[in-house]
């Protein structure tokens, strides 16, 4: 831990030295909520979000906050190690070509619904999920946009790895928007003491609305996992095509970083909201990606109680997307990747929204959380597909 802010109703415990002003204001809003448990924790990749900062961890008693989970419910990482020790540039390009043929990126979906066996199985679909289910069958197995990616990497263990970052596509956004709006309406009706300017409308956990949100949120978490799993299956097929079947894969590592769930901390059962933060229980395997062109990490949790057993979910932004497109040098960012021999898709100024220069230094982020996780494998990027 780097510092503690004690000026608010509850402490803010921070695993970073520098924090942007808006993110700090949002953290102070969290610390002044009447149902906060113990303190607010900010991971080393913290930056401004909607209502709650990305990289924040909030434990609450008796309420759940849709905006403290966010719109990409269940967004997270998966990674898989292969038995390969090397792949040259031509081979990587062949693999990436196969990936692009089978996995839609950006706003694109599959033209046809995917087999329903890939969808999470439940006895009965809930309200918003049912409304958007047909679209979701076409979106499963697709990457999405923004900071989502598929990356082929070389590990410090000597093996080639595959890593995927993606979420619940439009389904999670629809669920998040519906229940955040519902929470706002109810908070206004109840004359809630939480200012509307906080954008942290809540649902008491005993209400029908909270039960419905939890059910739909959990479905979206499962859908996001199923989405990553299907993409990884198709990446495996790409490897098999190029290597003529002579490649093997270890078990999938999967973690989410946008969700809320019941956990026991400081001897109380509470709802822990992680918005751009990863659970890091003692011995738990995790994934911390860098920015495009920088290292990523397979980590093991240390179970630090002060962080509610959490760690960062990545490097964390220092520039908004539009700012990065305006201010970063296309030539410099392309050179940075080319000098490392990374196969990438940065071609135009508009592609700079996800360039390395828009993100924090991952080495500093990792240095700030040595009490949260220990590094098991360092991963250097070889080729990347961006959403």
Pairing of strands 12-14, 36-47: parallel
65 pLDDT tier (thresholds 50, 70, 90): very high
Q: Is pLDDT of 245 > 90?
A: no
The mean pLDDT value for 186-214 works out to: 97
Query: Could you tell me the domains of the chain?
Result: 3-318+359-386 (3.90.1860.10)
246 pLDDT tier (thresholds 50, 70, 90): confident
Q: What is the predicted pLDDT for the residue at 387?
A: 78
pTM of this structure = 0.96
Q: What is the per-residue pLDDT across 16-51, written as a single tens digit (0 to 9) for each?
A: 999 999 999 999 999 999 999 999 999 999 999 999
Catalytic entry in 39, 165, 313, 344:
313
Active-site residue, 313 included: yes
Quote the distance between the C-alpha of residue 306 and its chain's center.
Answer: 21
DSSP strands (E only) in the chain? 3-5, 12-14, 36-47, 54-60, 63-64, 76-81, 149-155, 160-166, 203-204, 253-256, 258-265, 268-275, 277-279, 285-288, 296-301, 310-312, 373-386
Q: What is the per-residue pLDDT across 161-193, written as a single tens digit (0 to 9) for each?
A: 999 999 999 999 999 999 999 999 999 999 999
116 pLDDT tier (thresholds 50, 70, 90): very high
Residue reference for tokens 């590094």: 375
Calpha distance 4→155 (Å, rounded): 35
The mean pLDDT value for 321-327 works out to: 92
Calpha distance 26→252 (Å, rounded): 35
């Amino acid at each position: 831990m780097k510092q503690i802010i004690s000026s608010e109703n509850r402490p803010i415990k921070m695993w970073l030295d520098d924090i942007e002003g808006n993110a700090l204001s949002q953290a102070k809003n969290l610390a002044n909520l009447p149902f906060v448990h113990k303190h607010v924790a900010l991971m080393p990749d913290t930056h401004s979000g909607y209502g709650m900062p990305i990289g924040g961890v909030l434990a609450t008693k008796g309420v759940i906050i849709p905006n403290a989970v966010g719109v990409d419910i269940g967004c997270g990482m998966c990674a898989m190690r292969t038995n390969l020790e090397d792949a040259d540039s031509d081979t990587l390009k062949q693999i990436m070509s196969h990936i692009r043929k089978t996995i839609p990126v950006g706003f694109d979906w599959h033209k046809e619904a995917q087999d329903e066996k890939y969808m999470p199985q439940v006895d009965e679909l809930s309200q918003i999920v049912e409304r958007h289910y047909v679209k979701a069958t076409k979106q499963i197995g697709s990457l999405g946009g923004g900071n989502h990616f598929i990356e082929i990497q070389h590990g410090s263990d000597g093996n080639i790895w595959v890593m995927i970052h993606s979420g619940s596509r439009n389904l999670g956004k629809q669920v998040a928007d519906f229940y955040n709006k519902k929470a706002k309406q109810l908070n206004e009706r109840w004359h809630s003491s939480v200012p509307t300017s906080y954008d942290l409308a809540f649902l008491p956990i005993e209400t029908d609305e909270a039960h419905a949100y939890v059910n739909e949120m959990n479905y979206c978490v499962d859908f996001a996992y199923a989405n990553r799993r299907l993409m990884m299956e198709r990446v495996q097929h790409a490897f098999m095509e190029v290597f003529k079947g002579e490649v093997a894969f270890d078990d999938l590592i999967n973690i989410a970083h946008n969700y809320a769930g019941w956990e026991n901390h400081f001897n109380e059962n509470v709802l822990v909201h992680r918005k751009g933060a990863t659970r890091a229980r003692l011995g738990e395997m995790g994934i911390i990606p860098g920015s495009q062109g920088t290292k990523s990490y397979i980590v093991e949790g240390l179970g630090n109680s002060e962080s509610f057993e959490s760690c960062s979910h990545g490097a964390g932004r220092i520039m908004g997307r539009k700012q990065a497109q305006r201010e970063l040098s296309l030539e410099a960012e392309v050179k940075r990747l080319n000098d490392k021999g990374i196969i990438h898709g940065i071609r135009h100024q508009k592609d700079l929204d996800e360039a390395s220069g828009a993100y924090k230094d991952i080495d500093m982020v990792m240095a700030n959380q040595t009490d949260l996780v220990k590094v098991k494998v360092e991963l250097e990027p070889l080729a990347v597909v961006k959403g």
